[in-house]
Amino acid sequence: MSTPHNAANPGDIAKTILLPGDPLRAKVIAETYLSDPVQFNAVRNMFGYTGTYKGKPVSVMGTGMGIPSIGLYSYELIHFYGVKNLIRVGSCGSINRKAKIGDIIMAQGACTNSNYASQYGLDGTFSAISSFDLLRKAVLVAEEHGYPYIVGNILSSDTFYTEKPVWKDWAKMGCLGVEMESFALYCNAVRAACAAEGADDASQAVDNSFEDVKALGIFTVSDSLVTGEETTAEERQNNFTNMMEVALEVAAQL
């Protein structure tokens, strides 16, 4: 069984997947870091591969840019392919002086100006948070390697080009960086993980099979909206390598 967006058959995708935005990045990651990668998807050029890392099956697939794109791909990975650990690897812009170019931002939480969570009918503001287990593992790996990292909130923005510098308001609320996807990823993971919670009636059919769905976004700071600094190609590559090391070492523990 495939989906309208993914040609993989059940079983083709590992329980742990790395999710860069760029599908060509997924190809490079598969070819550089995974042993024996096999491509499972090319629908809309959203390339996906499964191989192994330190003996563990690991997949990698592009998500495209923005909340609608990662929203649908991650939903399908969780619900139709049984993926349990979804680790977004990307770049983000720093909106806080503490998050320096070259740092790894680990998104403990993701805020948004998107309407994505309105589907849940909540009478309030939802806090989308990462998996504490994945976050803790990522922090420990970064510490072991001595990679500079910072943990906190980010903004998953619906807009890249904005009429006004909206990031300033989010910076005042402690957001460290801005990207465009993690909020939907975190919503999908937690919604699936809590499929069995909140049933009105004990006799209502509940599904516990998603209980262990976990998500985390980690980012290299590619530019600073605060200072206007940008990374050189060489710096970007080094920073990317550190982030990948963290993501893969986490994957190896799952």
In the set 89, 138, 178, 215, which binds ligand HPA (CB under 6 A)?
A: 178
Catalytic residue among 103, 158, 207, 223: 223
- CA dist 60 and 26 (Å) reads 6
Q: Closer CB to ligand HPA, residue 69 or residue 157?
A: 157
How much helix, strand and coil, in percent to the nearest 5, is found in the chain?
A: 35, 25, 40
Ramachandran class of 44: left when φ > 0, alpha when ψ lies in -120 to 50, beta otherwise? left
The reply on whether position 184 binds ligand HPA by CB under 6 A is: no
The reply on whether position 41 binds ligand HPA by CB under 6 A is: no
In the set 16, 74, 157, 242, which binds ligand HPA (CB under 6 A)?
A: 157
Residue keyed to tokens 């080094």: 238
Q: Closer CB to ligand HPA, residue 37 or residue 217?
A: 217
In the set 60, 72, 180, 248, which binds ligand HPA (CB under 6 A)?
A: 180
Ramachandran class of 82: left when φ > 0, alpha when ψ lies in -120 to 50, beta otherwise? left
Choose among 93, 85, 59, 52: nearest CA to 179.
Answer: 93
Span interacting with ligand HPA, options 74-82, 86-94, 206-214, 243-251, rule CB under 6 A: 86-94
The count of chain residues that interact with ligand HPA, using the rule CB under 6 A, is 11
- Whether 223 is catalytic is yes
Q: Closer CB to ligand HPA, residue 115 or residue 204?
A: 115
Span interacting with ligand HPA, options 87-95, 139-147, 195-203, 233-241, rule CB under 6 A: 87-95
Choose among 40, 173, 45, 72: nearest CA to 113.
Answer: 173
Please list the active-site residues: 223
